[in-house]
Structure 1
Amino acid sequence: MPVSRDTVPLPQDTNRKKTDTLLPGKIIDSSKTVADTGSVTTVDSLSLPKLSKDSLDAPVTYKAKDSIILMVPDKRFFLYGTAATKYKEVELNAERMNFDQATGILEATTATDTSGKPIGRPVLNDGGQSFDSDTLRYNFSTQKAKIYNTRSQYGEGFIMSQQTKKGPDNAIFGFKNAYTTCNLDTPHFAFRARKIKVIPDKLVISGPANLEIEGVPTPLFIPFAIFPITQGQRSGILPPQYVVNQQKGMGLENGGYYVGLGEYFDLTLRGDVYSYGSWGLTVSPTYRKRYHYNGGMNLSFANTRFGDPTVKSEFSRSRDFRVTWNHSMDSKARPGVNFGANVNFGTSSYNRFNVFDYNSRVNNQIGSSISFSKTWQGKPYNFTMSLNHSQNLSTRDVSISFPDAAFTVNTVYPFQPKEMVGTPKWYQKVGISYNTVLRNSAQFKDSVFLKPKMFDALQTGMQHNIPVSFSIPISSFTLQPGINYSEYWYTKKIVKNWNDAQNKIDTTYTPGFYAARSMSASVSLSTGLYGMYTFKKGMKIKAVRHVMRPTISANYSPDLASQYYYEYQYNKNGDRTRASVFDGVSGIGVPSATTFGGINFGLDNNLEMKVFSKKDTTANHEKKIKVLDGFGITGQYNLVADSFKLSVFSIYARTNLFDKLNISANGTIDPYQVDARGKVLDKYAWQSGKFSLGRLTNASISMSTSFQSSDKKSKEKEKQKTDIEQEQGGDAAFQAQQRQLQMVRNNPGEYVDFDIPWRIDLSYSLSYSKSIIPDSGGVVTSFNQYLSFNGDFSLTPKWKVGLNSGFDFINKQIAYTNMYISRDLHCWQMSINLIPFGSFRQFSITINPKAGILRDLRINRTRQFQDL
């Protein structure tokens, strides 16, 4: 028997909320009509092995909240009230739907409530694409759709079209369209284009487009537009931004190309070009392997021209470079092995002519560190090797140490049995360890980098240490005897002589292998003393606790290095000084040429309070406050020295008041008197008839604090941060955070947090030093006092003003200052950056979309002024 072509699936649910399935090949008696008025009448059906030609290749599930009406003679059915239909991966939701089986077309429309407000707009989800529209027609047979007044989202962008056609391959063709990244129904801006095509997960392509702001067309037209909607890595052009620089002229900055080279590697090329002939180039490769390592590098070259090249006397140029590299290794990749790098190296004038962010301009000290370490699992061995670099951009002094290596054998107890039984004997606590250090370093000017003078300044040395120690508890004291043997290896020695003819010091280097040794024995005693003062009941301060930790040790070290010391004249007055032939030839130091038999002493203190607190929910209603985390003094006394038996005193103090104010201070007190020329006399300061511990030769104090209002979205941001760390891995997330912080430093006005109404950071430092220069016969005293502050506050929820600055109290000058104003424009942001005074001044205003896909679509105006 042939299968009838007028088959209509019949729902089988009798509930108020209807959920039915359209099955292919069902025959229904067409003489019956089912109207859903609270229940559905089931009509007998017969399943046949052969399917009708108009049957679908998969079931269609549908439901409606209000009613489902089937018109069997017309082969149509209607759904009312929050209707939903699903066919394969296609899902359609709308207030009203009707299906025509003869044509295979499902139509969804919007309804209106009693007030005339539209409700239940059709929403189509197909293969990850979503369409929100007024009216939608979908053909189940051809899988094509026509959509009216639709709004769909692709990544960070939204497309609104008067008419849209969707093909079976999910390609979208739109007529009279608008593309925007604003998520409002009436967007603040949009690119208007007559025709547009969307290739799913690839591109949005349009013909000629016009930028419209607040519904007003602008003079900005583009002949075509390509908006990528792909996820992941894609190569592409990086558009430049227009700037005006007083020194370099008009220019285009940061234009280039991004090259995606796969999952593990990518490359960014950026360049700058200016009308006065200056240019710059930056190559930035990055690499990563999840759960193993990640890193990135910047190789920057710049050529800056000054003056008119036709006038040779007024023309000059500066060729500069800078290399930055960061690398981190996942600790789980190779347990026991770690490799990391943080490199920042370049010419001293690179920052002066090519870097304009606040932090780089105020920081004259840069440095690098590359390190490798290995720990043997189950063994007491540790090995580290590193390269370190520091550079002063003002003085152009460079210090490099490579390779720096250290091998350590942790303390082992050779007399200790594998299994301890009973009370251990004293000799079982004897511990022996070993460590060796290799130092290679050089100090030079950056102008001689990689030149012979740099290698002539190389200092090399190696030091071995074998300490033997053990501890003996005696009541509340701890007694710790110990012996230490050290050996120093050098590759050259130095001898200085005064040259009367030229009135200077001549220096002679003698290469070779040289060794020096030192030895010491010590015994130390330490304990802890506790004191408590309790206040009367009812007082806010309940108790004050004072902890003292005195230490005293006897030390003896014989003179094993006097043969390597000599005296030489250092000025024309005939003044002489004593020095070692190994001074300045290595980074490991030199052994002392004096016999020391004396006492080292120290006293550390800690002060805490218990105060009444209403916030404490316990019955005591109290909390602890640290008044002083630590404060103390250290020094030593040499019993066998002929003179200057007492050393200088080192004093220190540190605290964190109210968990807000960090304070640290330290200083050095010299207990000896000096004469009018600054020469130290072997007389104690208190022997002059005045009560004094000595002269304060140097001291410093620093304080810092930070305040900010509460962030209502702090939990949400912390969750997003955790999600990123879990998705990218801890190291990758950290690197991403560091790159974001660098972007914030470069332009703080574009990266403000409007969720925090106000924020302020303060830091203060004061340092004092009194240096004696014997050959000049004078005492040099210097003070430095500096206050730095930065912060921002919101004038309104959408306006924010910020400032980074400081004040030098000694020179009575305001430090390098950066001011910025930011305006949140919903889907756009405006920032104004101002450096009002100083040798480098700048004004810039930038308006750019927030969406990352349109990050380079910015309006920027920059003016820079520099005093050379």
Structure 2
Amino acid sequence: MSSSYKNNYKKFLRQTYLVFAGVVIAVPFIIDASGGNRPHVSPIFNKILADTVPVVRKDSGRTRLSRDTTRPGKDSNQVFRDTDTSREVSVDTIFIPKISKDTLDAPVTYKAKDSIILMVPDKRFYLYGTANTKYKSIDLSAEKMNFDQATGVLEATNAKDTAGKFYGRPVMNDGGQSFESDTLRYNFTSQKAKIYNTRSQYGEGYVHSEYTKKAADNTIFGFKNGYTTCNLDTPHFSFRARKIKVIPDKLVISGPANLEIMGIPTPLFIPFAIFPITQGQRSGILPPQYVVNQQKGMGLENGGYYLGLGEHMDLTLRGDVYSYGSWSLTASPTYRKRYRYSGGMNLSFANTRFGDPSVKSEFQSSRDFRVTWNHSMDSKARPGVNFGASVNFGTSSYNRYNVFDYNTRVNNNIGSSISFSKAWQGKPYNLTVGLTHSQNLSTRDVSISFPDATFTVNTIYPFQPKELIGSPKWYQKIGVSYNTSLRNQANFKDSLFGKQAMFDAMQSGMQHSIPVSFSVPVLKTLTFSPSINYNEYWYTKKLIRSWKDDKRINDTTFGGVDTAYASGFYTARSLSVSASLSTAVYGMYGFNKHSKVKAIRHVMRPTVSATYTPDFSSAYYYSYRYNKAGDIARVSYFDGSIVGVPQAGTFAGLNFGIDNNLEMKVFSRKDTSGNHEKKVKLLDGFGITGNYNFMADSFKLSTFSLYARTNLFDKVNISANGSVDPYVTDARGHRIEKFAWQAGKFSLGRLTNATISLSTSFQSKDKKSKDKEQRLDSLENMQSADAAFQAQQRQLQMVRNNPGEYVDFDIPWRVDLSYSLSYTNNIIVDSGGVVKRITQYVSFNGDFSLTPKWKIGLNSGFDFTNMQIAYTNMYISRDLHCWQMSINLIPFGSFRQFSITINPKAGILRDLRINRSRQFYDF
């Protein structure tokens, strides 16, 4: 229809046909009114015919009606018999319209911004200007639409502006499927559609077709198609196929396809293509990726199978195989139950072969394994009961040959913990049972504690009445608690795991503790807290050491210490009585009103306690000779026990300590209050602790422990601690009974060890910080049992393994810095030599955007002790819109690597990646 034709009808039809149309539309309402009040729906675009249907009016005088079968029902009246009174009642029959066969089964709603024209003789509707039609799950929008009532076909097209550009393309959404085209024809009767020059979205993919047919079951048949994950009208890449079929919510299937990049065909052809668009859990093959490893040869990595085992469990099997004989296999089951628990496990086995087996000097072989397990329990599943696990255990050489990400390779310590805890509701009882494991990958030392159990009775007040009236008496504040711990621990080398030597190294012990305490205020500003603590220790082994003159130490020297273990049940106990005084002292230093610094507040919290511990150690300690000179040492039968040893001798002394806090108030324009002040922390804590033993024969003053911590400007975290020995030493390194300040030195003593650590992080403003915070909040609120949560965890591991492929281009730059300093000052006894050792290490990682699409990153560090650069990982990333390129480089060290990867961003095409890598090992 031309524009002039349209404008003429705007004036004429609104005056003539509108009146006639109103009469036609009013006919059903007139018929409806004649039939009485009843619900009525008049679908749009319907033809209406009449038929007769009997309707029965109820009579309040009858309780039940039955039709009289002795009389025919062809008259205008039907006769019913009252089964209760045997009275015949006649009921009128009325006629209502019968809906025609071509009537739609659901109403159609439509609107247009410009105009809607009804052509009654032609039975057509015309909609102009941002038209919209809705029918069932179909939502169609276009600049122009017209509907032919005779054929039931709705046609939607775009329009052209004065500059010759098209606008208002038809867009149809149907049950999650989206179609954007130049022309669309939809048949309401058959529910089929023909779409020209369409662009449809299915999950992460888009299909561009010259001609498309949509069947009634929403199956799509396309002609001259292109499949891509690029959301541009002219995509950067696509798979071109002549024919394509889309099964909704299942698959996109095509015949032979050719990969095009920027509209240019490539030599890459595939005989067919299947792109899944299903949501949720589906089993299937995980394609491997081709790699070249300098030591292992050519290989296929991360190939396997994903097995969906239902709503609560799945299993991923992946494997690697290389041409030189190396292989690895990983099984990763995950499980979940909503609002109850979730977890996942990795079981990895690897066989690594380097070099030629016929040349023994060049051939190396290693069999390794790694087990990881994570389990978490919803706190609401069973109130008072919790079970959690974080297990990371394996051979020391597994990381060396099979792990390449930065964080894992720079960490030589791994550990595990499994714990079960129960708190009895309404009772002061708590039970914790667990397993812990720690392993040093460099020294190959392993420590396993299992089972460990702790049972605690929280503080109870036996002299306090159930209903306390007024202020409590001092004896009503007396509290008693109980704590017992069971420990079993074995320390061994990882090569002894599972062997008899590991079980021989097992130590067991149990400790019971009963503290009794209470506190009362004294002089309003002091708190007085007396206490009594009783401890009992149970052991299963006793260590006996003795000197043997006939024991060979070397070829020329005989004599040495002989050790022997005696198994059995042994006990020890200790008792201590103490009383402490503590308070808080506040000091304020003010500045003049014109100063930006308003005031500095200093808070001191001194603590002094007196402790008395009687000597119960006569039965637990003994004297033995430890060298040929005949020197004697007093040691315990239970030295090295995992539950501790009671202190030898009597202790009666003072424990003292002081903690300081320093804050500053400064002027701030950002403060909305009238004071315009801001608090700045100068020192979160700074203090010193020690004790003095009045009963000791010598060296009554202990070493001092110093500590400090602060967070400057909410950016720089600083912590420090150290130990100071107040006594001086002679020329041979022996401590003598003389304080450092008595030797003419203005000092607390000799600093024996100290550590300082600093860390900070800086980054530019995130362009999309609000959106990311919302996604993070939704993830935190998500139940851990969700499959989506498990997917997030797997994605996080992929980020760690491939930092160059997962960068945030919304943050222009980011820098993380950390520095650690360790100092030790030891004196070698009998030689007088002083051994001082300083270790310094700085680590830094960060990235910056060279351009909005180029990102350069670095993870590295520097060891000042050995004066060498630590393990370094450099990467360069390029955002290619629907693709991403990453270059990873590990330039030096025992493990060196170079790799370049180009892959699509969409998860559905994650395995369509181009990778080239080189790896080198130094042994």
State the TM bucket, normalised to the shorter chain. over 0.9
The 8 Å contact of residues 571 and 775 in structure 1, kept in 2 or not, is answered as no
Partner of 2:78: none
2:901 to 822, 846, 853: 846
The 8 Å contact of residues 336 and 786 in structure 2, kept in 1 or not, is answered as no
SS at match of 1:383: strand
CA offset at residue 685 of structure 1?
Answer: 2.4
CA offset at residue 66 of structure 1?
Answer: 2.3
Rounded to whole Å, the distance in 1 between the matches of 2:780 and 2:658 is 44
Deviation track 1:104-130 (CA, whole Å, cap 9, x = no partner) reads 222211111222211221122223222
Asked if 1:487 corresponds to 2:536, the answer is yes
Deviation track 1:448-494 (CA, whole Å, cap 9, x = no partner) reads 00100000100100000000000010120000000000000001101
Asked if 1:409 corresponds to 2:465, the answer is no
Partner of 1:277: 325
Partner of 1:44: none
Match runs of 1:179-198 below 5 Å: 179-198=227-246
Change (3 A) 1:806 1:731: farther
SS at match of 1:22: coil
Asked if 1:581 corresponds to 2:648, the answer is no
Partner of 1:758: 813
Structure 2 spans left out of the alignment, 5+ residues: 1-19, 27-41, 51-94, 554-559
Partner of 2:915: 860
Moved more, 800-809 or 84-93: 84-93
Moved more, 72-81 or 530-539: 72-81
CA offset at residue 327 of structure 1?
Answer: 0.8
Rounded to whole Å, the distance in 1 between the matches of 2:446 and 2:843 is 27
Deviation track 1:425-448 (CA, whole Å, cap 9, x = no partner) reads 110000000000111001100000
CA offset at residue 572 of structure 1?
Answer: 4.4
1:616 to 662, 665, 671: 671
SS at match of 1:578: strand
The 8 Å contact of residues 280 and 301 in structure 1, kept in 2 or not, is answered as yes
Match runs of 1:401-800 below 5 Å: 401-474=449-522, 475-500=524-549, 501-503=551-553, 504-584=560-640, 586-729=641-784, 737-772=792-827, 774=829, 779-800=834-855
1:208 to 243, 256, 268: 256
Deviation track 1:669-710 (CA, whole Å, cap 9, x = no partner) reads 011222334333333223333333211111010001100001
Which has more radius of gyration?
2
Moved more, 482-491 or 65-74: 65-74
Change (3 A) 1:155 1:665: same
Structure 1 spans left out of the alignment, 5+ residues: 1-6, 14-19, 29-46
The 8 Å contact of residues 25 and 48 in structure 1, kept in 2 or not, is answered as no
Deviation track 1:485-512 (CA, whole Å, cap 9, x = no partner) reads 0000001101112333223432111000
Rounded to whole Å, the distance in 2 between the matches of 1:637 and 1:669 is 14
Give me the TM-score of the superposition, normalised by structure 1: 0.94
The 8 Å contact of residues 469 and 483 in structure 1, kept in 2 or not, is answered as yes
Asked if 1:810 corresponds to 2:865, the answer is yes
The 8 Å contact of residues 24 and 58 in structure 1, kept in 2 or not, is answered as no
Change (3 A) 1:727 1:25: farther
Deviation track 1:342-363 (CA, whole Å, cap 9, x = no partner) reads 1110000000011001111111
Partner of 1:126: 174
Asked if 1:219 corresponds to 2:267, the answer is yes
Moved more, 115-124 or 435-444: 115-124
Q: Read off the aligned partner of 1:534 and give its amino acid letter.
A: G
Change (3 A) 1:537 1:589: same
The 8 Å contact of residues 21 and 62 in structure 1, kept in 2 or not, is answered as no
CA offset at residue 221 of structure 1?
Answer: 1.2
The 8 Å contact of residues 25 and 50 in structure 1, kept in 2 or not, is answered as no
Rounded to whole Å, the distance in 2 between the matches of 1:749 and 1:768 is 37
Asked if 1:94 corresponds to 2:142, the answer is yes
Change (3 A) 1:439 1:733: farther
Moved more, 78-87 or 179-188: 78-87
SS at match of 2:105: coil
Moved more, 639-648 or 501-510: 501-510
Change (3 A) 1:412 1:216: same
SS at match of 2:97: coil
SS at match of 1:722: helix
Rounded to whole Å, the distance in 2 between the matches of 1:754 and 1:863 is 27
Match runs of 1:33-48 below 5 Å: none
2:198 to 147, 150, 156: 150
Rounded to whole Å, the distance in 2 between the matches of 1:776 and 1:321 is 47
Partner of 1:36: none
CA offset at residue 776 of structure 1?
Answer: 8.0
Q: Read off the aligned partner of 1:327 and give its amino acid letter.
A: H
Moved more, 545-554 or 560-569: 560-569
CA offset at residue 8 of structure 1?
Answer: 10
CA offset at residue 565 of structure 1?
Answer: 1.1
Rounded to whole Å, the distance in 1 between the matches of 2:148 and 2:790 is 57
Q: Read off the aligned partner of 2:537 and give its amino acid letter.
A: Y
Partner of 1:321: 369
Over the matched positions of the two proteins, sequence identity in percent amounts to: 77
Change (3 A) 1:785 1:391: same
CA offset at residue 819 of structure 1?
Answer: 0.6
Moved more, 66-75 or 714-723: 66-75
SS at match of 2:99: coil
CA offset at residue 573 of structure 1?
Answer: 4.7
The 8 Å contact of residues 783 and 789 in structure 2, kept in 1 or not, is answered as no
SS at match of 1:332: coil
Aligned CA-pair RMSD: 2.2
Rounded to whole Å, the distance in 2 between the matches of 1:351 and 1:230 is 37
Q: Read off the aligned partner of 1:24 and give its amino acid letter.
A: N
Rounded to whole Å, the distance in 2 between the matches of 1:488 and 1:805 is 48
SS at match of 2:234: coil
Partner of 1:830: 885
Deviation track 1:748-785 (CA, whole Å, cap 9, x = no partner) reads 11111110000000101001113355488755332110
Rounded to whole Å, the distance in 2 between the matches of 1:221 and 1:188 is 17
Q: Read off the aligned partner of 2:605 and give its amino acid letter.
A: R
Asked if 1:65 corresponds to 2:65, the answer is no
Deviation track 1:350-405 (CA, whole Å, cap 9, x = no partner) reads 00011001111111111111111111111111111111111000000001111111
Rounded to whole Å, the distance in 2 between the matches of 1:323 and 1:580 is 39
SS at match of 1:453: helix
Partner of 1:31: none
Rounded to whole Å, the distance in 1 between the matches of 2:819 and 2:234 is 50
Change (3 A) 1:95 1:10: farther
SS at match of 1:379: coil
Q: Read off the aligned partner of 1:543 and give its amino acid letter.
A: A
Rounded to whole Å, the distance in 2 between the matches of 1:50 and 1:608 is 87
Give me the TM-score of the superposition, normalised by structure 2: 0.88
Partner of 1:173: 221
Deviation track 1:118-170 (CA, whole Å, cap 9, x = no partner) reads 12211222232221111111111111111111111111111111111111111
Rounded to whole Å, the distance in 1 between the matches of 2:786 and 2:216 is 43
What is the aligned residue count?
839
Change (3 A) 1:514 1:93: same
Match runs of 1:17-416 below 5 Å: 22=44, 24-26=46-48, 49-416=97-464
Rounded to whole Å, the distance in 2 between the matches of 1:11 and 1:542 is 85
The 8 Å contact of residues 454 and 483 in structure 2, kept in 1 or not, is answered as yes
